[in-house]
Amino acid sequence: MGLSWGHLSAAIVDTAFILLKTEPARERDVYAALSNIAEVIETHALYGEYDMLALVECANSKELTNLLMQKMRQIDGVKETETLIAVDY
């Protein structure tokens, strides 16, 4: 049976990596806020274009969308996110 996007409301998403850019001097606040989100498995501070990397696990794409739109992007100090969805070979 093939995947039918019209029938299923969301595809399965196991793991995603979220790159975050923060407002200047807000890295610690964002890091602490991410630590309080259940779907966030790991958080790492970075040097370079992005300030932070969060490893998240969600049951499906709707849950991932909610996580991004209602939780992560609402954190004071978050300027921008980029989502990378992990796939299995």
Which position has the higher pLDDT, 2 or 47?
47
Q: Residue 49: which residues within 8 A CB-CB, separation 6 or more?
A: 21
What's the DSSP call for residue 84?
E
Q: What is the pLDDT of residue 89?
A: 79
Per-residue pLDDT reduced to its tens digit, 9-31: 455 568 999 999 999 999 999 99
21/46 Cα distance (integer angstroms): 10
Classify domain 24-85 at the CATH topology level: Alpha-Beta Plaits (3.30.70)
Per-residue pLDDT reduced to its tens digit, 34-75: 999 999 999 999 999 999 999 999 999 899 999 999 999 999
